[in-house]
Amino acid sequence: MMALAFLTQTLRIAIPYLFAAAGGVMTERVGIIGLTLEGYMLGGAFGAAVGSLATGNPWIGLAAGALGGLVFALLYGLGAIRFRADQVVVGIAVNLLAIGLTRVLLRFLYDSSSNSPRVPGFNVTSSGSGFGALAQNPLVWMGFLALPLVAWILYRTPLGLRIRAVGEHPAAAISLGVPVTRVRWTAVALSGILAGLGGAYLALDQHQFTDQMTALRGFIALAATIFGRWDPKRVALACLLFAAAETLQIHLQGVGAFPSQFVEMIPYVLTIVALAGVVGRAVPPAALGRAPE
Amino acid sequence: MMTREKFEEAVLPPVVALLVAMLVGDALILLFGQSPGAVYRMLLEGTWGNAYGLGQVLYKATTLTFTGLAVAIGLRAGLFNIGAESQLAAGGFMAAVVGLAIPAGVPALLLLPVYFLAAALAGGAVGALPGWLKARFGAHEVITTIMLNFVVLALLNYLISSRFKVPDTLHTRELASGRLPRLDAFLPAFHGSAANVVLLLALAAAVLVGWFLFRTRAGFELRATGLQPAAAEYGGVKVGRVWWHAMAISGALAGIGGLNYVLGYKGYYEEGFATGAGFLGIAVALVGRSHPVGIVLAALLFATLSQGGLAVNALVPKQMVDVLQAVVIIAVATSVPEVRRLLRGFRRSNDA
């Protein structure tokens, strides 16, 4: 029973990571840095809350969540692709904008500086371990499918081949007639939708939107993307690993054995170690972060 | 001597950005049913219109000058230091921890070098690590500085909560000696505002950074590395060493910025005092075009915006300022390459 509860909690924590990291793989494989996952998630969480509150239908909330992520992805694309601005700078600004805009709209729509009213989510009947409730949430299943979907696109479709070509060698892709700009836009838009769904899961699961509710999950997803070396299978494992570490920390909290701050560090330390190449170097897509010619 | 073209390229993007930000600001203000003119007037009156508001602007601009200079040193070396927030926090933390061990009654002027060194070393160490990781392993500094931000802040929070905090707070004890005077000690009109003499340190730092970058051999090597690392390496510059040195200097500058809060304002270290100052430092360096004069001006601009948000909170939500700051950054980042292209095209058609 204990083991099932542990597993349930790990999966519950992992779902938003799986969504956002799927977006992370998508954007980084096309050569555009996934710094903005945090902003997409926040936009997605806010969109889901607004959509679900306005219609009372969580499915519409879900769609609005995807749209919320997409809006910030398009903005990032506008700066990084259309205007060829520095990805890091625009990316950071998009995150700041997501925080600011959701705050302003929270005040405008619900006259609150901290949280939205109660958001209708998917109806679930709870059981002992919570596993049954988890399994009834359609977003959970979508979360499990997000990275396999990205893997299928990347390795089994013409679009995926183009995405990988543009991410590794844009000049060669251009000379082969690949519409580089359109491929970049497509990948960035998909990334926004995927991470937006991760944010939507948070808002619908917690039944409200709260200021900065994503709480750095977008950066943990980015860490998982890098620690998983941009390979969907490994990235999924990285998400589960980070989620399991958090679950362990929650369980140990009562015992008071291990300070929570050290568990918080795990994804980030592992990412730095992976980049430094102590155990098998993480090599990013060759054109990552570079502006197209 | 700056040519007219260079001046246009440097000044036009921030001007364009401010205009775009004002338009977005207008739209948001209208959304809340207020008149843009009234809100902007209130914003100016609440910041530059009275000594208290101005003092708060100067206080915020002091920290932003340090983080802006820190980011600029990195940018000039071709590196993106996203870690200024944790370097700032580490600097302030180390200064406070050292200060806790110092008894009361020691003159502040005598202690300043000690605090200065503690803050610079702590910030410098946090900066040097990603610089070294890049030089040694090729690890991308953008990712490592972001990740290190979270690691260092978590570590500091742990140290504060487990060892140093006063019970039921998130801050350390107050320092017994070494606190620096606020501006209201000399100019009573500033009464109550946080502006303090660390402001002078910030200006001195800006002058020194300008001298270092443009008048010394090391500064030349740093800029050469930033412009074209391969060519610099061919010209005899040890690029790897420049990288980690630049990051160490960058981190040290951010770290010294911690004195503004710890010695000049509160007299203790508090969890979260650095929040946002790192990212805004990037905005400051960008809008200030990585030039010391530009950075001081940009720091004043962003400080005015954040203080101004508080001043207009009665009419429009202060969170509006977060949006405007983000819009300024996006507009500058996108208009820099765009303006350059337009100016080049314009000149070419003029020459023809």
Q: Are the beta carbons of B154 and A262 separated by less than 8 Å?
A: yes
pLDDT score at A293? 52
- Residue B18 belongs to a domain: no
Ramachandran area for residue A176 (φ above 0: left; ψ -120 to 50: alpha; else beta) = alpha
Nearest to B150 among A101, A268, A289 (CB): A268
- Measured distance CA(A198)–CA(A47) in Å, rounded: 12
Please, what is the end-to-end C-alpha distance for chain B in angstroms?
Answer: 26
- Residue B180 belongs to a domain: yes
Kindly tell me if the per-residue pLDDT of A140 is higher than 80: yes
pLDDT score at B15? 84
Q: Are the beta carbons of B147 and A223 separated by less than 8 Å?
A: yes
Q: How confident is the model at residue A108 (pLDDT cuts 50, 70, 90)?
A: very high
Distances (CA, A) of A291 to A176, A282, B32: 19, 22, 38
Is residue A121 within 8 A of residue A127, CB to CB? The reply is: no
pLDDT, average across residues B278-306 = 93
Q: How confident is the model at residue B253 (pLDDT cuts 50, 70, 90)?
A: very high
- Residue A281 belongs to a domain: no
Task: For residue A114, give the CATH number of its domain.
Answer: 1.10.3470
- Measured distance CA(B332)–CA(A89) in Å, rounded: 10
Structural domain containing residue B287:
37-43+57-336
What would the pLDDT profile of B122-139 be if each residue is shown by its tens digit?
Answer: 999 999 999 999 999 988
Q: Are the beta carbons of A96 and B334 separated by less than 8 Å?
A: no
pLDDT score at B246? 97
**3-class SS of residue A115:** strand
- Measured distance CA(B149)–CA(A41) in Å, rounded: 20
Q: Are the beta carbons of B317 and A75 separated by less than 8 Å?
A: no
Distance from the A128 Cα atom to the nearest Cα atom in chain B, whole angstroms: 34
Which residues does chain B have within 8 Å of residue A272's beta carbon, measured at their own beta carbons? 133, 139, 143-144, 147-148, 151
pLDDT score at A1? 60
Q: Which of A214, A187, A165, A179 is nearest to A65 (CA)?
A: A214
- Residue B269 belongs to a domain: yes
Please list, in sequence order, all residues whose beta carbon lies within 8 angstroms of the beta carbon of residue A67, skipping any fewer than 6 positions away: A47, A51, A196
- Residue A110 belongs to a domain: yes
Is residue B164 within 8 A of residue B172, CB to CB? The reply is: yes
Distances (CA, A) of B8 to B3, B19, B85: 9, 16, 32
- Residue B305 belongs to a domain: yes
- Residue A288 belongs to a domain: no
Q: How many CA atoms lie within 13 A of B55 on its CB side?
A: 21
Query: Please, what is the Cα angle at B240 between B243 and B140, to 5 degrees?
Result: 65
Which 3-state string (H, E, C) describes chain B?
CCCHHHHHHHHHHHHHHHHHHHHHHHHHHHHCCCCHHHHHHHHHHHHCCCHHHHHHHHHHHHHHHHHHHHHHHHHHCCCCCCCHHHHHHHHHHHHHHHHHCCCCCCCHHHHHHHHHHHHHHHHHHHHHHHHHHHHHHCCCHHHHHHHHHHHHHHHHHHHHHHHHCCCCCCECCCCCCCCCCEHHHCCHHHCCCCCECHHHHHHHHHHHHHHHHHHCHHHHHHHHHHHCHHHHHHCCCCHHHHHHHHHHHHHHHHHHHHHHHHHHHHCCCECCCCCCHHHHHHHHHHHCCCCHHHHHHHHHHHHHHHHHHHHCCCCCCCCHHHHHHHHHHHHHHHHHHHHHHHHHHHHHHHHC
Burial status of residue A158 (CB atoms within 10 A of its CB: 0-12, 13-18, 19 or more): exposed
pLDDT score at B44? 93
Which residues does chain A have within 8 Å of residue B283's beta carbon, measured at their own beta carbons? 93
Which residues of A, range 174-203, sit inside 8 Å of B by Cβ?
A: none
Please list, in sequence order, all residues whose beta carbon lies within 8 angstroms of the beta carbon of residue B62, skipping any fewer than 6 positions away: B195, B196, B198, B199, B201, B202, B257, B260, B264, B299
Which residues does chain A have within 8 Å of residue B157's beta carbon, measured at their own beta carbons? 261
Distances (CA, A) of B255 to A87, B54, B76, B202, B270: 26, 24, 19, 12, 15
Is residue B254 within 8 A of residue B128, CB to CB? The reply is: no
Kindly tell me if the per-residue pLDDT of B308 is higher than 60: yes
- Measured distance CA(B298)–CA(B284) in Å, rounded: 5
Which range has the worst mean pLDDT, A139-153, B11-25, B336-350?
B336-350
Among chain A residues, the shortest Cα distance to B138 is held by: A276
Q: Are the beta carbons of A100 and B148 separated by less than 8 Å?
A: no
- Residue A286 belongs to a domain: no
Which range has the worst mean pLDDT, A10-19, A223-232, A261-270, A284-293?
A284-293
Kindly tell me if the per-residue pLDDT of A18 is higher than 80: yes
Structural domain containing residue A192:
2-119+127-276
- Residue B196 belongs to a domain: yes
pLDDT score at A136? 82
Q: Are the beta carbons of B326 and A96 separated by less than 8 Å?
A: yes
- Measured distance CA(A20)–CA(A220) in Å, rounded: 9
Nearest to A275 among B144, B283, B333 (CB): B144
Tokens of B319: 């969170």
Q: How confident is the model at residue A77 (pLDDT cuts 50, 70, 90)?
A: very high
- Residue A6 belongs to a domain: yes
- Measured distance CA(B91)–CA(B250) in Å, rounded: 12
What torsion, rounded to 10 degrees, do the Cα atoms B61, B67, B69, B74 define?
-160
- Measured distance CA(B197)–CA(B212) in Å, rounded: 23
What interface predicted TM-score (ipTM) does this complex get? 0.89
pLDDT score at B351? 57
Which residues does chain B have within 8 Å of residue A101's beta carbon, measured at their own beta carbons? 323
Is residue A80 within 8 A of residue A31, CB to CB? The reply is: no
pLDDT score at B9? 76
pLDDT score at A146? 97
If one counts the domains in chain A, the total is 1
What would the pLDDT profile of B138-172 be if each residue is shown by its tens digit?
Answer: 888 999 999 999 999 999 999 999 889 998 899 99
- Residue B50 belongs to a domain: no
Helix H or strand E encompassing A259: none
Please list, in sequence order, all residues whose beta carbon lies within 8 angstroms of the beta carbon of residue B242, skipping any fewer than 6 positions away: B77, B221, B222, B225, B232
If one counts the domains in chain B, the total is 1
- Residue A210 belongs to a domain: yes
**3-class SS of residue A176:** coil
- Residue B344 belongs to a domain: no
Q: How confident is the model at residue B335 (pLDDT cuts 50, 70, 90)?
A: confident
Mutation pick from A109, A210, A265 vs chain B, by most beta carbons of B within 10 Å, is: A265
Q: Are the beta carbons of A108 and B32 separated by less than 8 Å?
A: yes
Task: For residue B98, give the CATH number of its domain.
Answer: 1.10.3470
Which residues does chain A have within 8 Å of residue B286's beta carbon, measured at their own beta carbons? 89
Nearest to B323 among A104, A261, A271 (CB): A104
Is residue B46 within 8 A of residue B310, CB to CB? The reply is: yes
Say whether residue A284 is in contact with chain B using an 8 A CB cutoff: yes
- Residue B8 belongs to a domain: no
Tokens of B295: 């950075």
What would the pLDDT profile of B208-218 be if each residue is shown by its tens digit?
Answer: 999 999 999 99
